[in-house]
Amino acid sequence: MDSVWFGKPRPSSGQPLGLSREAIVRKALEMLDEHGLTKLSMRKLAAALGAAPMSLYWHVPTKDALIELCVDEIYGDFPLPAPDADWEPALREMMHSLRHLALKHPWWLRAIGEFTTIGPKAVAMADSMLEPMLRAGLTTAAAAQSVSTVSSFVTGYALAEANFTARGGMDSSPPDLGKIADLYREKHPRYVEMLNDPAVWTLEGQFEFGLDCVIDGIKARVAALR
């Protein structure tokens, strides 16, 4: 099945009046950030743009394709590390950026899970993650393995984190932890004790701990992987 990336963005010789692929994506991003993935509809998007629903379909083949474009646009916000940075601080910095991106756009990770997007900006990001590792002397496979490992942790963590940080406007509210604790107090006391431990909810610190673990493990292997 062909993806959006293989088709041209439709030639537009005359000056675009009001509607354009870029304008549609921009407004869609705005609405996604504000209301979440499930609340976005082509009709509402068109209304927000002052156009008829079917007008969008000239610029974008389908709703799923539009969301793929939006997902890739987010990859574009990814800040690049300094071109001469050592691999470890570069990797750390990129992973912090990745987490912040995911937390800033809660719909993003969910969309990634559903649409398997590999757009130009996603490729650029992956490429720039590879770069410091290769420069440190790793083989292609080893660099890929390292990057895949850390970014798996980060996306997994951000996914869990986003579930407990759902703010206003999202699709679902976070579960009521007090009720859950009451429900399971006698059957799973260990679990309830964990829920009530304030240290568990220092999400920033938890992330740092996990990131340290993963990077330590990679560091220990970098020598062998060269």
Partner DNA sequence: AAGTTCCTCGTACACCGTAAGGGGTAGGAA
Partner DNA sequence: TTCCTACCCCTTACGGTGTACGAGGAACTT
Q: Which does 97 bind (CB under 5 to 8 A by kind): DNA, a copy of itself, none?
A: none
Residues in the chain: 226
110 sits near a copy of itself (criterion: CB under 8 A): yes
- Contact track, a copy of itself, 66-95, x by CB under 8 A: ------------------------------
213 sits near a copy of itself (criterion: CB under 8 A): yes
Contact residues toward DNA (CB under 7 A) are 10-14, 16-19, 40-44, 51-55, 57-59, 62-64
- Closest approach of Cβ 224 to a copy of itself, in Å? 11
CB atoms inside a 10 Å sphere around CB 115 = 15
HEC secondary structure over 63-131: HHHHHHHHHHHHHHCCCCCCCCCCHHHHHHHHHHHHHHHHHHCHHHHHHHHHHCCCCHHHHHHHHHHHH
Cβ proximity of 128 and 87 under 8 Å: no
| Interface stretch with a copy of itself, choices 26-34, 71-79, 80-88, 130-138 (CB under 8 A) | 130-138
Q: How far is CA 52 from the centre of its chain?
A: 30
Q: Closer to a copy of itself at the Cβ: 24 or 215?
A: 215
9 sits near a copy of itself (criterion: CB under 8 A): no
